[in-house]
């Protein structure tokens, strides 16, 4: 999950760099889908694995849910302040813990519950400390808030599906189904808005796809070896990696709230590794 969080942070960096070049979001999604599809297909063929897996309907559901969640997140990011959209999106580890408890009968430990809480407090400090102590200056777009909640819930559903599929399917097959679904849908939705990449933008798009592939495979591996709730609690480390990458590539110097919040998140991840007690009855 640490490798996954780092890979997704690198992906976000290259998404931002590509967006700065004027490439539409759906085109970035399509490009990352092409790269992921090629890498997954070649790897599956070389390993001699059944290409479409065993539980095809559940695999297609994972791909469709992931695509919907991604688009809900992008809608929220374009219609809400970044801080509020980020806070709502990072409800997904908590949703994952609840869904895994209901559908997979996975009980979560006090350590995981504490780490989720500490990480979310840290996130509040990172994105906007005053969220916890004051009201917003103006009402938020209700549709965008619902979209952000749907995106967080969709991510949680996708993670629970990955956890379930991990019992019978190879990680590469699970990863394959996201681009199989997202590529045709993103191309259809993009249609006439395509922008021809220039120069270094081609490398950025390739990097988005490769880092996404690494992140997805690492995430799937983690879901196969650990409960969904504990594994996804490490997702908050992505915020810390994003802070570091923002400092290095955009000279975005973190404020005191960001430093404090990052400290909370790192502490939670460390506790989650050390403090793994008996699940709640």
C-alpha 72/C-alpha 145 separation (Å) is: 10
Cα 47 to the center of its chain, rounded Å: 27
Q: Whole-model pTM above 0.75?
A: yes
Give me the residue label for tokens 């070049």: 21
Measured distance CA(229)–CA(95) in Å, rounded: 9
Query: Can you give the residue ranges of every domain in the chain?
Result: 2-274
SS3 state at 281: coil
Q: What is the pLDDT of residue 278?
A: 47
Q: What is the mean pLDDT of each run of 10 residues along the chain (281 residues)?
A: 90 85 87 92 91 91 91 79 70 86 84 84 73 54 86 92 90 91 90 88 93 90 83 82 83 79 83 62 41
**Alpha helices (H) along the chain:** 2-20, 25-47, 56-79, 82-89, 92-103, 110-127, 142-165, 171-190, 201-225, 228-232, 237-250, 256-274
**In this predicted structure, what is the pLDDT of residue 137?**
52
Given this model, what pLDDT does residue 225 score? Answer: 81
The rounded distance, in Å, linking the Cα atoms of 97 and 99 is 6
Residue 218 pLDDT: 92
**Contact indicator for 216, 62 with CB cutoff of 8 Å:** no
DSSP for residue 109: B
Instruction: Measure the CA angle with vertex 55, ends 53 and 59; round to 5°.
Output: 80
């Amino acid at each position: 999950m640490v490798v996954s969080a780092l890979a997704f942070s690198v992906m976000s960096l290259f998404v931002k760099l590509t967006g700065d070049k004027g490439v539409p979001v759906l085109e970035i999604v399509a490009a990352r889908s092409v790269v992921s599809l090629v890498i997954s297909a070649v790897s599956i063929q070389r390993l001699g694995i059944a290409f479409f897996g065993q539980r095809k309907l559940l695999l297609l559901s994972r791909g469709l849910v992931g695509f919907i969640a991604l688009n809900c997140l992008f809608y929220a990011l374009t219609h809400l302040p970044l801080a509020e959209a980020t806070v709502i999106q990072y409800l997904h580890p908590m949703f994952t813990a609840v869904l895994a408890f209901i559908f997979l009968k996975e009980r979560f430990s006090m350590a995981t519950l504490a780490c989720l809480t500490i990480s979310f407090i840290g996130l509040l400090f990172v994105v906007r400390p005053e969220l916890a102590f004051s009201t917003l200056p103006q009402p938020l777009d209700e549709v965008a808030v619902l979209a952000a909640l749907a995106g967080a819930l969709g991510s949680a559903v996708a993670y629970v599906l990955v956890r379930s599929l991990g019992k019978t399917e190879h990680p590469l097959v699970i990863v394959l189904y996201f681009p199989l679904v997202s590529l045709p849908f993103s191309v259809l939705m993009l249609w006439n808005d395509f922008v021809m990449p220039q120069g270094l933008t081609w490398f950025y798009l390739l990097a988005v796809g490769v880092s996404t592939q690494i992140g997805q495979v690492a995430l799937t591996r983690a879901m196969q070896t650990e409960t969904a709730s504990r594994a996804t609690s490490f997702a908050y480390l992505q915020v810390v990696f994003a802070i570091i990458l923002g400092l290095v590539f955009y000279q975005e110097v973190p404020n005191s709230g960001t430093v404090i919040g990052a400290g909370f998140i790192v502490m939670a991840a460390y506790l989650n590794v050390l403090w793994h007690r008996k699940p709640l009855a």
